[in-house]
Amino acid sequence: MIQWSRITGVASAVVSSTTFGLIPLFTLSLLALGVGSPTILAYRFLLAAVAMAIVMLFTRRNFRLALEQVAVVAVLAILYASTAILLLESYKYIPSGVATTIHFLYPLAVTLTMAWLFREHISYIIYIAVVLSLIGVALLAWGDHTEGDFARGVTYALVTVVTYAAYIVGVMRSRASRVDSIVLTFYVLAFGALLFFIYALATEGIEALHTWSSWRDIIMLALVCTVLSDYTLILAIKRIGSTKTSILGSMEPLTAVVVGVVYFGERVDAVSIVGLVLIICAVVVVIVQSAPNREIN
């Protein structure tokens, strides 16, 4: 019998990581136009929260959260917002491909956290998938050249490994796991929008956007890279678990490479091709492990 829950879980994880991997495409364009990071994040999360509110109204979701869930959702929002701002800041100091590659170390953090802290059984095949995916992203970054304050950029990207891994585990293991996926997505984005508006007002202020291209990029960031990405992430975590979801996040650097080749005309050398193949193999391994009649590890 086909287990649609697992199938949709795998599909959601792939969609989430792919759309998350598109963030540099729109963010770097905005930064090139001189739009500040606080403004980008404030607009992005506000529009995303509004979009999710509309979805909740049309689907007649209840906006009410239990008192004990409010604090948990607020912590998850802080973790998610921290990931967004630190990853964006890292783009200023190191190439986005390198930042995305470093960020992708989070599957290892999730896997080890679930195995060591929560005693989740992780099969050796999943460990092989983790190793394959990490080797793959390392090869993708092999030919990158860094400029500027490399140490600061790497530090920012490394911290996102911790914050994003904590967010994923928190969605799975906290009281938030009992909150409807759409409702949880809305509150994470709404809390995030509030945080970024406070941050923006306390630093550079909120800038006005005057061009269609800047609004287009903000809208794409909000709807595709935030609403769709975070909703499908939460959906995947609830259906196939945090470990498999994080490993399927290997689509992020894969997406970054495809965008670089198709949109920016970048060349892919033999080493990068090997990395791509390893990432695809890791994804296939996870999909096979998530197939019907297999034990969820």
Longest dimension (CA), the chain: 56
Average pLDDT, the chain: 85
- Residues 250-285 have pLDDT tens digits of 778 778 778 777 776 666 678 778 887 888 788 777
Q: What is the pLDDT of residues 148-162, one digit of tens each?
A: 677 788 889 999 999
Neighbouring residues of 126: CB distance < 8 A, sequence distance ≥ 6: 111, 243, 244, 247, 285, 286, 289, 297
CA distances to 26, 175, 231, 283 from 70, in Å: 32, 10, 18, 34
pLDDT given for residue 242 in this prediction: 82
Residue-wise pLDDT for 129-186, tens only, equals 888 888 887 887 665 554 567 778 888 999 999 999 999 999 988 888 888 989 999 9
Domain boundaries, the chain: 4-289
